[in-house]
Chain A
Amino acid sequence: MKILIIIPAYNEAENIGNVIDDLKRDFPRADPVIINDGSTDNTSHIGRSSGVGVIDLPYNLGIGGAVQTGIMYAFEKNYDIAIQFDGDGQHVAHEIEKILGPLTEGADLVIGSRFLGVDGYTMPVTRKIGRNIFSFVMSLICRQKLTDTTSGFRAYGRKAIELFNNYYPEDYPEVEALIVAHKKRLNIKEVPVRMRPRSKGRSSITFVRAVYYMIKVFLAVFIGLLKTKAYN
């Protein structure tokens, strides 16, 4: 079973070293590859000196383009499974085993959810409301219960790798990718995982920003719903 760990990273020099150490210690049987999304700091250099594969994008493509690059790589190198794992230290390598499980039981796309389990993950109230609205709408669209639609902690089986190799959304890819997967009748599964609160970086979302963000995501979602010809 060949497993690739896709680590999208944009200016994560502070965190990427720890992320790699985590993965090497707690999940050594997979090949990590950093997708350096046009970072201006030395993310790429740190990645290289830690001995993992680094794919340097020539300019910033955004999270969607970066993740898709990893999926293209997995597709070309015939990986059976690809795991998407954030470069900012939010995700826990120890939890990878949990999102791998369902793949052997017929799932094509597994999402690590912060909200399914009992383990509390503290977040601002504004985000909580937003999250509830999101999961409600997305659950309706995908006709299954979804709790953490923006989670970037995911496992892709071969079918999902083939699909997203051809088409992966750009603007709010986590949410939209679920719609694509649902429309292409992939088997989506959510499992509870632990995540770390973001240690360093910009999580300064104000209320206005949160609302604005939500509107943009919903627009992207509804345009995504119309885009049926893009991935057929």
Chain B
Amino acid sequence: MQIVQVLSILISFTIFAFVIEVIRRGAFKEKYALLWLFASIVLLTLSIWRSLLDSIALFFGFYYPPSFLFLIGFGFLLLITLHFSIVVSNLSEKNKKLAQELSILKEEVERIIDKETISGEQQGPILNDDSHTSSDNPVIS
């Protein structure tokens, strides 16, 4: 076994183990975990199974098979960052919507409260003045 293979097994296993651990802790949402899990499994498999890596790499014209691992790793990173860009855009869109809805709601609530305090102020003095005479005063309507 060449040092380069030991190194690639070590690295891909570390990534794999780390991904599994993060999933176990529930810190990943499933859909984000999937891409990472898949990437680490592919990298680990190709690192261990040298003859498979060699035949695929040679098929694509890579004379030094371990460099093919870099390409795969790079491809996955590209996918993952692209995925993140989409997710972030999505999140900011939702965030914007929330902010907009919230501010409109706040305005409506303020309007209702204002209306109530105004009508409350109008009723207040009348109620106080007549509280000692009669409970169903015609003034209050």
Interface residues of A (CB under 8 A from B): 33, 35, 53-59, 61, 65, 68-69, 72-73, 76, 170
A69 touches B104 (CB 8 A): yes
How far apart are B100's CB and chain A's nearest CB, in angstroms? 5
Interface residues of B (CB under 8 A from A): 96, 99-104, 106-107, 111
Q: CA–CA, A68 to B104, complex, Å?
A: 11
Interface centre among A33, A35, A54, A69, by most chain B C-beta atoms within 10 angstroms, is A69
B99 touches A55 (CB 8 A): no
Q: CA–CA, A170 to B114, complex, Å?
A: 33
Q: CA–CA, A56 to B102, complex, Å?
A: 9
17 contacts between A and B (CB under 8 A): A33-B107, A53-B107, A54-B107, A56-B103, A56-B106, A56-B107, A57-B99, A58-B102, A58-B103, A59-B99, A61-B96, A61-B99, A61-B100, A65-B100, A68-B100, A73-B104, A76-B104
A residues in contact with B103, CB < 8 Å: 35, 55-58, 69
Chain A residue at minimum C-beta to C-beta distance from B93: A170
Chain A residue at minimum C-beta to C-beta distance from B106: A56
Chain B residue at minimum C-beta to C-beta distance from A58: B99
B residues in contact with A33, CB < 8 Å: 107
A53 touches B111 (CB 8 A): yes
How far apart are B21's CB and chain A's nearest CB, in angstroms? 35
Interface centre among B96, B103, B111, by most chain A C-beta atoms within 10 angstroms, is B103
How far apart are B115's CB and chain A's nearest CB, in angstroms? 13
Closest 4 pairs between A and B when the two form their complex, measured CB to CB: A69-B100, A55-B107, A55-B103, A57-B103
How far apart are B104's CB and chain A's nearest CB, in angstroms? 5
A residues in contact with B100, CB < 8 Å: 57, 61, 65, 68-69, 72
B107 touches A65 (CB 8 A): no
B residues in contact with A54, CB < 8 Å: 107
How far apart are A39's CB and chain B's nearest CB, in angstroms? 13
How far apart are A165's CB and chain B's nearest CB, in angstroms? 10
How far apart are B54's CB and chain A's nearest CB, in angstroms? 42
Chain B residue at minimum C-beta to C-beta distance from A60: B99
Q: CA–CA, A170 to B111, complex, Å?
A: 29
A65 touches B102 (CB 8 A): no
Q: A57-B103, A61-B96 are in contact. List 17 more A-B contacts (CB 8 A).
A: A33-B107, A53-B107, A53-B111, A55-B103, A55-B107, A56-B103, A56-B106, A58-B99, A58-B102, A59-B99, A61-B99, A65-B96, A65-B99, A69-B104, A72-B101, A76-B104, A170-B96
B96 touches A55 (CB 8 A): no
Chain A residue at minimum C-beta to C-beta distance from B99: A58
B residues in contact with A58, CB < 8 Å: 99, 102-103
